[in-house]
Amino acid sequence: MSRAWERCVPVFDIPILTRPFVALCTLGAVACGLVLYREAAGLGAASGMNDAYAWGIWKTFNIMALTGLGSGGFSIGIATWLFGRRSLHSVMRTAVLSSFLIYASGLMLLGIDVGRPWNFLWILAPWRWNVHSPMLEVGFCMPLYTAVPLFLEAIPPVLEWIHSRWPELESTAEMAESLLKRIYPWVLGLAFLLPAMHQSSLGALMLLAGNQVHPLWQTPWLPLLYVWAASFMGFAFVSVVLMVCHLVWNRSLDEDVLREMSRITAWLIATWLIFRFADLAMRGRLHLAVQISAPSALFWMEILLLLSAALMLAVASKRHNVRLAFQGSILAALGGLMYRFDPTTLAFQPRAGAFYFPTFIELLIDIGFLSLTVATFSLLAKVLPILPASTRLWRAMESARWNKSVLHPQQAEYTHYAAAD
Amino acid sequence: MVRGGAAFLRLIGHRASGTITVTLKWDRCNWTSRMYRLMHGLGKTRRLAQNEARIKMEEMVIGKRSETIADHIEASGISRRRFLEFCAVLVAMAPSGLALTKKASALEVAQKIGASKRPSVIWLHFQDCTGCTESLLHASRPDIADLIFNVISLDYHETFMAASGYQAEEALRHAVEENNGNFILVVEGSIPTREHGAYMKLAGRPALEVLRDTGSEAALVVAIGSCASWGGIPSADPNPTGALGVDSILANKAVVNLPGCPPNPYNFLSVLLEYSTMHRIPALDEYHRPKFAYDRLIHEDCPRRGHFDAGRFAGVFGDEGHRQGWCLYKLGCKGPVTHAPCSTMHFNETPGVWPIGIGTPCAGCTEKATAFRIPIFQTVDIHSITPPEALPAIDARAGSIGVAAATTVGAIAGAAATAAMIASRRLPDSKRIRAIQKSEDTTKPRNKDIDLEGR
Amino acid sequence: MEITRRHLLGSMAKGAATVFAAGGVSSVALADESRAKEKQEASQTAIAMLYDATLCVGCQSCVSACAQANNLTPDKRLDTLHQSPRDLSDTTKNVVKLYKPADGTPYSYIKQQCMHCVDPACAAACLFKALKKETGTGIVTWNPGLCVGCRYCQIVCSYHIPKFQWRGVNPRIVKCEFCKERLARGDDPACTSVCPTHAVVFGKRTSLLAEAKLRIAKSPGKYYEERVFGEREGGGTQVLYLTKASFEKLGLPKLGNEPIPAKYLKWQKRMYSYLLIPAALYAVIVSITRKSWNRHEEHLKEEEKATGLRPQL
């Protein structure tokens, strides 16, 4: 019964400077101040990282885990373009923008996390590369992905905005758009290939750690499990974003699209779980799962989260249950985050007596950056046409806000709100 | 010992007349008696006897520069055993720091010394306590006093010489002139420089002048004791006499400093014999102190070092630690900053006779920066940090969770969970959706709860 | 509007043909390439250290000598008077630890420093080859001009050797580099020069391995498992250990004979070799996407006609 999402419409009826927005920006500002402290005093002063646990939450959470949530552009894109789920095209912009913001904030945090960032310029010198290193693959692929395909995919809303806000720049915007249209398939190709490469390389990073990763997680198939997890995390996260936007900004929900997404997510999780257990069984590690120990508890927590997520999403997709879809997506996102985070920290034991817990400053910097990400998303969603909506809403927006700018000669007739479409 | 003695004799024999053996008081040498019987048997007794007489006459002339130390030893009646014992002590003192003793046995050292001529030594006292001379005298085995008078030609020494007054000063002048720049000048005591050196005068002449005159003629200048090396006690704040060490006065001269209050006598003897036998000065550090004696810290070779490494310290004099002989660092021992051989070469040739040995912290008497400047019971910083006796265990200790961090994580987790629960309640479940579908109402009710579509 | 399964299968078949062609080419290339680089062997001129824990008396002269030779500030955190490192750190490249079991079984000292593995995981992991294994001597050196400070080497090292300077603005990775300046001058490494009991000695790896085996043969029952640690562990190391106590109890990790890079990066290397497989995959993806994209453009045109609104990309 819900109207199909046909256009992307900015959140035009809510002002940008709301109290939550200001609060988020304040947290972000605090984080920026703390970043200066980290630069001046060193990593040890600002974080709880030590020689035993050399990677803290900035790497293990924001890069290893959170970019899984930021794989919406990747997984939804593949579903839309390679597998022909055309209805998902309407959420592509949301997916792309959330991916872009998560990747951008993650990469900025990575820049803060590395100790000698000035040497990263060697990335431009291929003769210096250690081509077999998974770290190189990640270090090369992630910035490239963010800067090229993800950026180009995120450009069209900006061009539209320019087109509508500044009529004098119309021709430039149109030229850019047509150029983009010409190269889009190749851009999309990169947008699917590069994340597949680096999401799997993120898994490969922990391969080299060998026995330090608990055997319940360590497997030669780690790269595949990571990229697969990224796929369903991307779906889950975009569903959550859409539903949160509905709750907070009162945007419409297209139930058909949500159901489709839930269905796909459920299938992805189910297959992933089967593969995980098969892998454990084939390598003879299942007995570790049935022992009573901290790692097995962690393992079962992940499995339970994902299993319940899969079931909830499966039910939600069959029975028109948005609440269940929301809860299921959250659990899926959480389970995926846990799975990708555990081999780096909780299931990672370099030696007896090693210990790590993030410090307050470390947490604040992380929270600040995430707050900035959310704030940026809210700002951009209000200004640019990102969130999906019906054509009716588009016309309402035009009449409410963009009255003065005429986008298309034929638009003039539709500037007034019509009761029925 | 017998064969060694024979070789020694051979050396002397060759020196004396080529092939003729010299009659010795030491009759236990089989080689000698064998040779004697042989010679006797060959009928050359008379010629031997004549040569013997000639040599004996020469030996009786004491004071001649052409005589060697060995001659004097022999003439003075000092047994070779005692001489070899002295050489053995020299070898122990500086097994490789001196060319004289480098990889040499006591016997080889004895040969080298025996073969060299007696050096002339002029010993001047300035602002001193004569402690350095006393230290030299306190060597008890062998009898150093005897040895010194026979090994060197001590031409001027205010404490030892019998003369006084004009005769003494005449001896000094005569010694300087006669030796023609060949003598060794030993200086004990600091030199006052204030009021044109009026604070110490020798026969009416300021010490400054005496030193300059004598020092300019000397072949080698040895500053014995801290006072002569860098000023010593007289130079302690406020240094009213302007006391300086010898090398500040004799700027152009090669001066060997032997600081210490007093220094170990073997420091001096080793330098002296190295110079007179091998004609070279031992390697010196940047303060002109011989490296063989002054290149190591007391701390490095201290017998109580094990206690330091184990963290066992005496806290106050007479406490349990002090009675047990634990490290005196906390009582102000300057061992960690003092270069001197006292840890290995104790005084009076008796083990344990040195400050730390008797339970008193080292005062750093050789060091200009330490002695009479830093209070005796004030602790010094350790510059060369070394590992302790205790070792770490195989695995490191773990850390702990910060309270603020734990609270933050808990707060975030709690807030997120609550928000998610509240949010999910506001979303419609299947019942509500069915209700909405049934109603088919396109007009928007105000109740957001069942509003699937926005505006 | 939607791509039907038939269409999908058709384009996938075309793509598969491309893939097989590319795959065939790449697998031929991969065959020699991967096998050649699969495993690193020790060079004939590789230098080594042999540490015999049964000879070590725990004097820690090597700890002191290392700090002096490398101009490192002594670690005085535990004890202000002594250099008392608890573990390797950014100021300690060499440490001696004591294994003293509570049940009274014989204790043992253990000297810890970089193992200079024959096929080091750290060098395989480092993205710009800041950690590199020198060809002649086999020393694993660190180059400050290339290091990004990502600390991946700390994650992958099985012996937990590289230490990072967690304070300050120019943090370095600190680890034993075999006193390469001293070696260049013709001296031996500092630790091996000062050991009073010759518990740790310096020499060529081949000679020291032979020496270790000789010691084992001469004293059966003396050394743990009658073998020298580092001959084959993790592909072999250039610091060899002879101990009486068990290797694991002394903190030496339990490793198989396969080096870590060879064991875990096999497929990574093959998949990304010459980027052939990614390129082939890209070709497939683009060919499918183009069809979808063309269809999408048609749909956009239709929508524009229907609604009169400018199409959104």
Give just the sign of the alpha carbon dihedral A190, A196, A199, A201: negative
ipTM: 0.89
**A96 close to C303: Cβ distance less than 8 angstroms:** no
Q: Given this model, what pLDDT does residue B267 score? A: 87
Which of these, B271, A312, A121, lies nearest to C145 by C-alpha position?
A121
Work out the mean pLDDT of chain C and round it to a whole number: 88
Q: Would you tell me how many other CB atoms lie within 10 Å of the CB of residue C291?
A: 17
Contact C79 B388 (CB under 8 A): yes
Residues 6+ apart with CB under 8 A from A25: A371, A372, A375
CA distances from B124 to A229, B133, B267, C184, C271 (A): 93, 11, 18, 52, 89
* pLDDT cut 70: percent of chain A above it: 94
Beta carbons of B399 and A251 less than 8 Å apart = no
Chain C hits for A77, Cβ within 8 Å: none
- What's the pLDDT at A414? 35
Asked if B399 is an interface residue toward chain C (Cβ–Cβ < 8 A), one would say: no
Lowest mean pLDDT among A91-100, A143-152, A404-413, B376-385: A404-413
SS3 B330: helix
CB contact under 8 A, A327 and B420: yes
Query: Is residue C128 classed as helix, strand or coil in its secondary structure?
Result: coil
Give CA–CA dist B148/A316, Å, rounded: 111
> At B358, which amino acid appears?
I
Q: Are strands C108-112 and C200-204 parallel, antiparallel or unpaired?
A: unpaired
Confidence of residue C125 (pLDDT cuts 50, 70, 90): very high
CA distance A66 to C213: 51
Tell me, yes or no, if A354 comes closer than 8 A to chain B by beta carbon: yes
Higher-pLDDT residue of A1 and C199 is C199
CA atoms in the 13 A half-sphere facing the CB of B227: 25
Q: Could you give the C-alpha distances from A256 to A88, A261, B42, B143, B441, in angstroms and in order?
A: 10, 9, 138, 115, 19
Q: Which of A321, A349, A392 best tests the B interface by mutation, with the highest count of B CBs <10 A?
A: A321
A–C: how many Cβ contacts below 8 A? 225
**Residue B386: which of C83, C100, C109 has the nearest Cβ?**
C83
Residue C300 above 90 pLDDT?
A: no
> What residues are paired with A242 via a beta bridge?
none
C82 to chain B: which residues are within 8 Å by CB? 309, 311, 385-388
**Cβ distance C243 to C141 under 8 Å?**
no
Shortest CA distance to B23 belongs to which of B74, B68, B82, B72? B74
Does B309 contact C at CB distance below 8 Å? yes
**Phi, psi (deg, nearest 5) at residue B158:** -60, -30
pTM, rounded to two decimals: 0.77
| Segments in chain B below pLDDT 50 | 1-28, 57-65, 141-142, 444-451, 455
B343 Cβ partners below 8 Å, 6+ apart? B296, B298, B300, B301, B302, B303, B335, B354, B356
Q: Which helix (H) or strand (E) covers residue B333, if one does?
A: none
A43–C289 C-beta distance less than 8 A: no
Dist. CA B20–CA C132, nearest whole Å:
76
The minimum CA-CA distance between A410 and chain C, rounded to whole Å, is 6
Contact B429, A320 (CB under 8 A): no
Per-residue model confidence (pLDDT) at position C2: 60
**Residue A171 near residue A107 (C-beta atoms within 8 A):** no
Which amino acid, residue A59? Answer: K
pLDDT at A420 over 60: no
Residue B142: cis peptide before it, omega within 30 degrees of 0: yes
Window from A98-107, A359-368, B58-67, B334-343 with minimum mean pLDDT: B58-67
CA distance A12 to A400: 8
Question: What pLDDT is stored for residue C14 in this prediction?
Answer: 65
> How many contacts (CB atoms, under 8 Å) link A and B?
101
Say whether A48 sits in a helix, a strand or coil.
coil
- For A48-91, where are the alpha helices, taking DSSP H only? 57-59, 66-69, 72-77
DSSP code per residue over B210-258 = HHHHHHHH-SEEEEEHHHHHH-TGGGSTT-TT--B-HHHHSTTS-EEEE
Contact status of C86 with chain B (Cβ, < 8 Å): yes
Q: How far apart are CA A202 and CA A60, in angstroms?
A: 10
Enumerate chain B positions whose Cβ falls within 8 A of a Cβ in A: 395-402, 404-406, 408-409, 412, 420, 423-430, 433-434, 436-437, 440, 442, 448, 451-455
Rg (CA), chain A: 22
pLDDT in tens, A139-181: 999 999 999 999 999 999 999 888 888 888 888 888 998 999 9
Please tell me if residue A323 touches chain B, with a CB cutoff of 8 Å. yes
Please check whether residue B421 is in contact with residue A378, taking contact to mean a CB–CB distance below 8 angstroms.
no
In contact, A401 and A265? CB cutoff 8 Å: no
Residue in B with minimal Cα distance to C97: B392
**B86-118 in b/e burial notation, b at 16+ Cβ within 10 A?**
bbbbbbebbeebbbbbbebebbebbbbbbebbb
CA–CA gap between residue A325 and residue B288 (Å, rounded): 89
- Whether the CB-CB separation of A1 and B436 falls below 8 Å is answered with yes
Question: Both tokens of residue A129?
Answer: 């590369």
pLDDT at A369 over 80: yes
Q: CB contact, 8 Å: B385 with chain C?
A: yes
Q: Is A406 helix (H, G, I), strand (E, B) or coil?
A: coil
Q: Which of B391, B394, B395 sits opposite C58 (nearest CB)?
A: B391
| Segment C228-239 mean pLDDT | 94
**pLDDT tens-place string over residues B33-87:** 666 666 555 555 566 556 655 555 444 443 444 567 777 777 767 677 777 777 7
Q: What's B92's DSSP letter?
A: H
Statement: residue A213 has pLDDT above 70: yes
Q: Which of B411, B389, B55, B335 is nearest to B343 (CA)?
A: B335
The residue ranking higher by pLDDT, A341 or B268, is: A341
pLDDT of the residue at B275: 83
In the predicted model, what is the mean pLDDT of residues A75-85?
92
- The two structure tokens encoding residue A227: 């990229």
Mean pLDDT computed over A28-44: 95
Tokens representing residue C95 in the block: 């440490």
Give the distance from CA B264 to its chain's centroid: 9
- The encoded tokens of residue A72 equal 């919406």
Measure B191 CA to nearest chain C CA, in Å. 39
In B364-383, the residues whose Cβ lies within 8 Å of chain C are 382
Mean pLDDT across C81-110: 90
What pairs with residue B153 in β-bridges?
A: B120
Share of chain C above pLDDT 70, in %: 88
Q: Which value, to the nearest 10 degrees, does the dihedral of the CA atoms of residues B231, B236, B242, B247 take?
A: 20
